[in-house]
Amino acid sequence: MSSPTHPEPFVWRRMWVVARTDLKQLLKSKDYWMPMVALGMLFFVVLPTALLLTLTHVGSSTVAARISDTLSVLPPEARAAVRGASPGARTAYALAVYLFAPVAVVVPLTISTAVGAATIVGERERGTGEFLAHSPASTREIYMGKLIASVIPGYITTIVGFATYSIIVNLVVGPDVGGWFFPTREWWLMMLWIIPPFLLLTLSLVLRLSARVKSTAAAQQASGLITLPLIAIAYGQATGSLVGGSWVGGFWLGTIAWIVAAISLHRGVRSVTRARLLGVAQ
């Protein structure tokens, strides 16, 4: 007997509710978010502050000059953009703008991967997948909710870290290069246009893994294999877009990344099934 098909509506509110509940659990787990904060602090505050303070306040100009020599590897456009009168100031400027770009990539990808890897398989391990499987929430709503809940911790950490980093850079290096200069146009592009699609692309793959594997540990192991190459690619591309000095190139890089991410997300929706939430998928 054939059954009439009833199209399943997508309820945005349900998607937010799934995301909100995941985030609420995350916030209540200090053991989970403390390492995130520590990672953000390390990459956005501790390391830049220590390095930039050393460069701008170091007594020996020889050290700064040696480091300054490394700026020669930068393309002419990037070298031309470097500001500062002294070698130390120029080096600090170059490091602030170019060296720490990968940091902005590593932090969100690492944090979001850690959250995303546990999100679906975690439901299964805790038995709450049974509740979701019997609930009215569609698998698309669940998938998108989980995705948002995984993106937000990494991206929020990155945005907050980026703001903190901007203040530190301007306070430490600004006086030597003629005032506040950070963030540059290329950094805005990277933070708002290039990193998000890389983050989504990574998470679309991680969520697929999380839906398929049998344990959180296995999900984290496997997601490490996926995220490492993606971090490397994002690192290279982000650095290139900054160093290249052309924001148009960065724009197109971001556009392509968005398209790939959208395709990957679309395909990833199918990875979440009720059978997988129940842990009985074959």
Partner 1 sequence: MVDARRREAGDAAGVHGATPASGRWAGRRGQRLRIGADRPITASAMTDTTSTPPSATASRALVELAGIGHHFGSNEALRQLDLRVPEGRITVVLGPNGAGKTTAIRVITGALHPDRGLVRTFGLDPDTAGHLVRPRCGVVSAKPALYDRLSGRDNLDYAAELYRLRRDKDRRIDEAAERFGIGPALDQLVGGYSTGMKTRLALARSVLHDPELLLFDEPTSGLDPESSMAVLELIREMTTGGRTVVMCTHLLSEAEGLADHVVIMEGGTDLVAGTPGDLTHRFWPNPVVALDAEDNRLLDRMRAWPGVMGYRRDPSGARVEVDDLRRLPDLVAGLVADGVRLTRVEPHRPTLEDLYFAIRRQLSGDARSSGREAASALDPISVGPLPPTPTVAPVAAPFAAPVASGGGDRMPTIDVPDAPPPPITESVGAPPADDDEALRGGRP
Q: List residues near partner 1 by CB under 8 A.
A: 1, 3-6, 8-9, 11, 13-14, 17-18, 21, 24-25, 28-29, 126-131, 133-138, 274-275, 277-278, 280, 282
The 10 Å Cβ neighbour count of residue 281 is 13
Least distance CB 41 / partner 1 (angstroms): 24
Name which of 171 and 281 has its Cβ closer to partner 1: 281
Contact assessment for residue 227 and residue 208, using Cβ atoms and an 8 Å cutoff: no
Rg, the chain, Cα only: 22
Least distance CB 222 / partner 1 (angstroms): 22
Least distance CB 38 / partner 1 (angstroms): 20
Tokens read off for 32: 């989970």
Name which of 228 and 281 has its Cβ closer to partner 1: 281
Least distance CB 213 / partner 1 (angstroms): 17
Name which of 128 and 239 has its Cβ closer to partner 1: 128
Name which of 55 and 152 has its Cβ closer to partner 1: 152
Contact assessment for residue 238 and residue 99, using Cβ atoms and an 8 Å cutoff: no
Name which of 16 and 180 has its Cβ closer to partner 1: 16
Sign of the alpha-carbon torsion through 87, 90, 96, 100: negative
Least distance CB 207 / partner 1 (angstroms): 19
Name which of 138 and 202 has its Cβ closer to partner 1: 138
Residue type at position 98: Y
Q: How far apart are CA 89 and CA 66, in angstroms?
A: 13
User: 158-195: string of b/e by CB count within 10 Å (b at 16+)?
Assistant: beebbebbbebbbebbbebbeeebbbbebbebbbebbb
Name which of 33 and 180 has its Cβ closer to partner 1: 33
Least distance CB 166 / partner 1 (angstroms): 34
Q: How far apart are CA 247 and CA 243, in angstroms?
A: 10
Contact assessment for residue 124 and residue 278, using Cβ atoms and an 8 Å cutoff: yes
Least distance CB 216 / partner 1 (angstroms): 14
Closest CA to 207 of 117, 89, 136: 117
Torsion, Cα 53 59 63 67, to 10 degrees, reads: 30
